């Protein structure tokens, strides 16, 4: 059994157990249309989550955004952030980095769709000084690792995480400056 084949059912079980009502999963056609709209493929695990678990509505704290549909989605937030970044004084949103979860206060969990492991990044806009790259941190080396943290209940976002000595500080994302300057 591959990592995805093992992880997706466990995520689905926790999603059903912790969410009052999950939206239906996105169809393969909806995922393909989203990828065509974005101009790049979703990492296989992320695509599987949207196709096999639900179109958002579960996950750490504030829950995954829907990929597609009416209202706020991964697609609409990506387009909005890339556009605002390009038009602003200080560019800040990297190409190929999808916001998947809104932590509030402008913070996002985002997946680097160009990373082989689908690294999960934290966007913290309050860290922007003279350079938008200063707002990006590595939350997890892979989407699978990030999900395992959620499944185990050990993420930095837990209310009591500050009491744990084993919760590491997030490190800056080295690729941020290069990717921010790429044209859409």
Average pLDDT over residues 79-100: 95
Q: Which two tokens stand for residue 74?
A: 């991964």
Whole-number pLDDT of residue 155 = 82
Question: What ranges do the domains of the chain cover?
Answer: 3-153+167-180
Whole-number pLDDT of residue 166 = 54
Residue 66 to residues 108, 117, 143, 175, Cα–Cα distance (Å): 14, 21, 16, 26
Residue for token pair 């350079």: 131
Q: Which two tokens stand for residue 158?
A: 């837990």
Average pLDDT over residues 113-141: 94
Mean pLDDT of the chain: 90
Q: Are 111 and 97 in contact (CB under 8 A)?
A: yes
DSSP string, 71-115: SS-HHHHHHHHHHHHHHSSS----TTEEEEEEEETTEEEEEETTS
Whole-number pLDDT of residue 162 = 47
Q: What is the pTM of this model?
A: 0.92
Q: Are 89 and 129 in contact (CB under 8 A)?
A: no
Res. 165: pLDDT tops 70: no
Whole-number pLDDT of residue 161 = 44
Residue for token pair 């800040």: 92
The C-alpha atoms of residue 113 and residue 168 are separated, in whole angstroms, by: 24
Fold of the CATH domain 3-153+167-180: SMI1/KNR4-like (3.40.1580)
Digit-coded pLDDT (tens) for 14-55 = 999 998 899 999 999 999 999 999 999 999 999 999 999 999
Q: Which residues pair with 115 in a beta bridge?
A: none
**Between 2 and 26, where is the model more confident?**
26
- The crossing angle, in degrees rounded to 10, of helices 28-38 and 44-52 is 140
**Between 182 and 81, where is the model more confident?**
81
Best-predicted range by mean pLDDT among 140-149, 151-160, 169-178? 140-149
Indicate the DSSP class of residue 63.
-
Beta-carbon count within 10 A of 27 CB: 13
Whole-number pLDDT of residue 151 = 94
């Amino acid at each position: 059994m591959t990592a995805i084949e093992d992880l997706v059912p466990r995520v689905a079980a926790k999603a059903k157990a912790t969410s009052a009502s999950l939206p239906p999963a996105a169809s393969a056609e909806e995922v393909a249309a989203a990828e065509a709209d974005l101009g790049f493929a979703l990492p296989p695990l992320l695509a599987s989550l949207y196709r096999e678990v639900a179109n958002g509505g579960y996950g750490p704290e504030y829950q995954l955004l829907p990929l597609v549909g009416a209202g706020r989605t991964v697609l609409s937030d990506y387009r909005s952030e890339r556009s605002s970044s390009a038009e602003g004084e200080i560019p800040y949103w990297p190409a190929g980095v999808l916001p998947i979860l809104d932590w509030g206060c402008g913070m996002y969990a985002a997946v680097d769709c160009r990373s082989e492991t689908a690294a999960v990044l934290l966007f913290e806009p309050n860290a922007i000084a003279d350079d938008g790259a200063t707002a990006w941190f590595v939350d997890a080396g892979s989407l699978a690792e990030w999900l395992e943290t959620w499944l185990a209940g050990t993420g930095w976002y837990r209310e009591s995480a500050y009491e744990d000595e084993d919760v590491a500080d997030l490190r800056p994302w080295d690729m941020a400056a290069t990717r921010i300057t790429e044209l859409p």
